[in-house]
Structure 1
Amino acid sequence: MLMPIAALLLYLSLLSSIASADVLPTTPDQIGVPPVTLRFCYEDKQLLPYYAGNSAAVPELAGATIEHLTRAAYEAGISLELVRMPWLRCLQQLEDNSVDALVAAYDESRAHFTRYPVTAEGTPDPTLAINQLGLCLAYRYDNMLPDKITSNLSITVSRPLGYRPIPFPANTVLVPAHSPEQALELVVSGRVDATTVLCELNGIKAQEQHLNQLPVLIMYPPLYQSDGYLMLSQAFYEHYPQYAAQLWQALPQTLDKSRYLQYLNYPFPH
């Protein structure tokens, strides 16, 4: 009788162990959920080809930058949470660590609260930028803007509030606008001489398709060229430096230049 009882006790012990294993909490890695979430903030106004849609909601076709960042986050093993709000509020929330990241050009005034990929010398590393752009002046076809600039005459340029300063021709007077669309409307209506528009994208000459339907001309070469960096909050970088490095490294590897160009024709034809 001793052997059967011992065997029964061993069997019951094994059953208990299996049952306990079934109710133990599963770790994120076991169920395929990344252990780290990046809270990415971007503006709630459409800015093609980077962001699509004019609201706090994230549309299904969210924009080339969102698709690009989603792929890079996946490669880095990071979960992505998207938050849309006015651009200046994104900057404020990055500074107080309420969000983890945004895309912006390097600016010395933001350096104290942002972390970005750097070279061995400590300067921003363009090889790890998320994208590159060139800005040109767009002006109404009957506005003699090139002649005004050549003659060093005063010109008015509309630009959205919160956008970082860039070098303009001498005697430029800036006129604030609430959005890129409003800035362009001021040009078309003749109330200002020009505004800045995208004219180069990741080294390729490009512009939004709707500009071809407006009475405006684009002044080449680009007035300004810039690299966009995935700027991280101090808190995120300090907590997850290895994920930050993996994410920055994944960005150039997941860049699809053609997808950025396709979003210049958004909304896509059915």
Structure 2
Amino acid sequence: MRLIATFCFVVFSSFASATTFVTVCYEDKNAPPFFLGSGFDVPEQRPGATIEILKSLEKQVSTVRFVFVRKPWQRCLKNIKNNKVDAVIASYRSERSEFLRFPRNLDGSINLSLAISMLGTCLVGQQGLATDVANRNFPLSLAVPRGYAVLSTLQQDLYKVILTDSQEDAYQLVLKSLVDGSLGLCKVYDEQVAGFPHSDKLQAIFPPIDISYGYLALSKDFMAQNPLVAQALWDKLGSMPLHQYYLDYVNNPINHKLPRY
């Protein structure tokens, strides 16, 4: 009888401590402060604020281990549609609900408090852009990387969008005066920032044209198989000092200091 009890305890302990691996797909382009570096490798040092947050989240939910893969953004979306990866970092769009699972309230609405980021996007350009906006010299030409969700919020009659392969390509077009502007991170939660490349030469036009919430969005299969794990991850994100990670990468681009948590 004692042997049976011991066996049951061991089996139960094994299940209780089982590790759930979560494969997260994110963009293979340099996109500070979210993701740093380019290509398929995940930098060991300074991987980006979003990756730092997920690594810290592992410590809060000890049975979870994240596996990071980098691919073009559209391929990440295709892979999660086909349940080949478990998670992406994405803003909510109604059409994405068909293949992504987001944290929700009891009434079915999206739970904003469990987002992994709350960031403002501004028009960004050289000095003359502010004058053009003030004088409503529309339409303005904007260079924007492919796949940016904020594109869907732009008024089509005000902006002519030129799609680029990367954020840096977009900003190079602005710096060379080939387009009027681009889009850039200008607000982290309640604090105004210059969180975009070449902020020493370019300026953001306030107020933000979009306030977006990013989420740890999960595949349908992962959510169906691990609902308790999914909720635990979202709940922990809701209690972490997430803004500090983004502000640290923006304000300390060379030597950042991660929040103590």
TM-score between the two structures when normalised by the length of structure 2: 0.85
Partner of 1:50: 34
Give the alignment of 1:115-134 within 5 angstroms: 115-134=101-120
Judging changes above 3 Å, is the alpha-carbon distance between structure 1 residues 53 and 267 closer, same or farther for their aligned structure 2 residues?
Answer: farther
Partner of 1:37: 21
1:108 and 1:149 map into 2 onto residues whose CA distance is 33
Aligned-residue offset at 1:195: 0.4
Q: Which amino acid aligns with 2:255?
A: F
Instruction: Return 5+ residue gaps in structure 1 as ranges.
Output: 1-16
Aligned-residue offset at 1:213: 2.5
Aligned-residue offset at 1:258: 2.3
Judging changes above 3 Å, is the alpha-carbon distance between structure 1 residues 105 and 30 closer, same or farther for their aligned structure 2 residues?
Answer: same
Q: Alignment partner for residue 86 of structure 1, among 57, 72, 80?
A: 72
In 2, are the aligned partners of 1:145 and 1:193 still within 8 Å (CA)?
Answer: no
Q: Which amino acid aligns with 2:114?
A: L
Instruction: Return 5+ residue gaps in structure 2 as ranges.
Output: 257-261
2:32 is equivalent to residue 68 of structure 1: no
Partner of 2:259: none
Q: Which amino acid aligns with 1:51?
A: F
Root mean square deviation of aligned Cα: 2.4
2:175 is equivalent to residue 188 of structure 1: yes
Deviations 1:201-238 (A, max 9, x none): 13221123753332x22101111101101110000000
Q: Secondary structure at 1:206's aligned position in 2?
A: strand
Aligned-residue offset at 1:54: 1.2
1:27 and 1:158 map into 2 onto residues whose CA distance is 57
Deviations 1:106-159 (A, max 9, x none): 011211001010112212110111111000001112x24443564352210111
Bigger radius of gyration, 1 or 2? 1
2:191 and 2:238 map into 1 onto residues whose CA distance is 16
TM-score between the two structures when normalised by the length of structure 1: 0.82
Q: Which amino acid aligns with 2:66?
A: L
Partner of 2:142: 157
Greater mean alpha carbon deviation, residues 225-234 or residues 64-73: 64-73
